[in-house]
Amino acid sequence: MNVRCLTWKSVAFYIIHAFAIPACVVRLFYRQRTGRLWWDDFWAFVALLFDCGMVAVSYTNMTSSIRWATVITFSSTLWGARLCIAVTIVRLVPPGRGRLVAKGVSILFGMIWAALIIQKCFLCGGYNLNIATCGVPRTTGILELCTDLVADAWLIFSPAYLLWDAKLAHRRQVLIYSVFASDILLSVLSIIHGAFILHRKGAWVGLVAHVEAATSLLLCNLLVLATWIYSRICLPDESDDISDSSAYTTQAPRRPNGPIYGFDGSALILTEISSSDDPPSKPNARSNQSERFGRSFNALYTVQPSGFGCPPFHLRRVQSCPAIVNLHMIPMLKGPNETYNMGWKNIADTDTIPSMMSSGTGNWSSLRNGWRIQRGR
């Protein structure tokens, strides 16, 4: 019975690690050849080293001082792979608040990894050297299961939220979300592993640990390999690697078809007028941008609020930031000088842009989001 169990376990070890380790090697070779190595590749390499160490330690007949190191290599492989995926999310998300949050979560992953390793070193470091393995206490198993599920929840759901505004082709978007959603398999393995720890199934704990570690190593390389294969087979003329924030751009803006409403619910009339009042600028750069986006930057738009005592103002797009989404204008009367505060609201995600400005009479003022406003005369 033991021989059969050991043989079956050995075959399982060989099969799962035989997929995971070469996949990581191919990923690193591809990234190095294309000159796209980044921090996610570094953590993939770290996970690869610990996975190889886990395999080597499992098949050795050395003393238990080496054998219990599987506990350390298991956690390091698992969290190294998770950190690789977390840093990949950082790489995909455009600069802004979302990227800062993704960076913070990646740092938190590293802290959890270090805390688990320190805890296991204290637990297993004092074991008798004649004991072949280091048993994981139930409290440690519960702690590992909780951290695993929380981390996997971030890796599964955060890409859909952070990349919601990324203008990817539909098939590529489905591919990316599907790859990240495959981390559900890692959560299932974490639950099974934790259940075996709680029920003291030592032999099964080791087997599931190997499967979980190798699966995590395979999943952290899946996005790079899947997008590379997808680009070669389905879209040979497009970028080979979409696990990079430079692989997608936002769409050019379009003038809204429906009415625009003010803060008080009154309709705002948007009218295109001549460009005689434009400030001087570089003609060549403006001409090139106009040809690219099919709309002149010289065009002014008059916004006429329908509320009582609200004078018109002019709106124009800025050359430095042509690609923005439709905006909802909110004029508010400030005082006897009729100075207006223009609050800008993003219709796509209802997130208020933090920059607020007051327009001076007859003066142009720049906005961060790529528009300029001028008081009407």
Which pLDDT tens digits describe the chain residue by residue (377 residues)? 344 445 566 666 678 888 899 999 999 999 999 888 899 999 999 999 999 988 887 766 555 556 667 778 889 999 999 999 999 989 888 888 888 999 999 999 999 999 988 888 777 655 544 555 566 677 878 888 999 999 999 998 888 787 776 666 666 777 777 778 888 998 899 999 888 888 877 678 888 888 899 999 999 998 888 888 877 776 554 555 555 554 443 343 444 444 444 444 444 444 444 444 444 444 444 444 444 434 444 455 555 444 444 555 555 544 443 333 333 333 333 333 333 334 333 323 223 323 333 333 333 333 333 444 433 33
Instruction: For residue 22, give the DSSP letter.
Output: H
Q: What is the rounded distance in angstroms from the CA atom of residue 372 to the CA atom of residue 370? A: 7
Query: What is the C-alpha end-to-end distance of the chain, expressed in Å?
Result: 93
Residues, the chain:
377
Residues 6+ apart with CB under 8 A from 287: none
**pLDDT tens readout for residues 239-262:** 555 555 544 433 434 444 444 444
Instruction: Give the pLDDT score at 42.
Output: 94
Q: What is the rounded distance in angstroms from the CA atom of residue 131 to the CA atom of residue 127? A: 7
**CATH pick for 2-247 out of 3.30.470, 1.20.1070, 2.40.50, 1.10.3470:** 1.20.1070
Instruction: Give the pLDDT score at 199.
Output: 82
User: How far is residue 337 CA from its own chain's centroid?
Assistant: 46
Q: What is the rounded distance in angstroms from the CA atom of residue 344 to the CA atom of residue 107? A: 33
Q: What is the rounded distance in angstroms from the CA atom of residue 373 to the CA atom of residue 127? A: 72
Q: Which one-letter amino acid corresponds to residue 285?
A: A
Question: For residue 159, what are its two tokens?
Answer: 């890409």
Instruction: Give the pLDDT score at 364.
Output: 31
Closest Cα to residue 128, out of 63, 74, 71, 73? 63
Q: What is the rounded distance in angstroms from the CA atom of residue 317 to the CA atom of residue 284? A: 17
Q: What is the rounded distance in angstroms from the CA atom of residue 188 to the CA atom of residue 177? A: 18
The maximal CA–CA distance of the chain, rounded, in angstroms, is 93
Domain boundaries for CATH 1.20.1070 within the chain: 2-247
Q: Is the CB of residue 224 less than 8 Å from the CB of residue 31? A: yes
Report how far apart, in Å, the C-alpha atoms of 112 and of each of 69, 119, 148, 272, 369 are: 19, 11, 10, 56, 38
Instruction: Give the pLDDT score at 122.
Output: 78
pTM of the model: 0.60
Residues 6+ apart with CB under 8 A from 242: 168, 172, 176, 227, 231, 248
Residues 6+ apart with CB under 8 A from 138: 197, 198
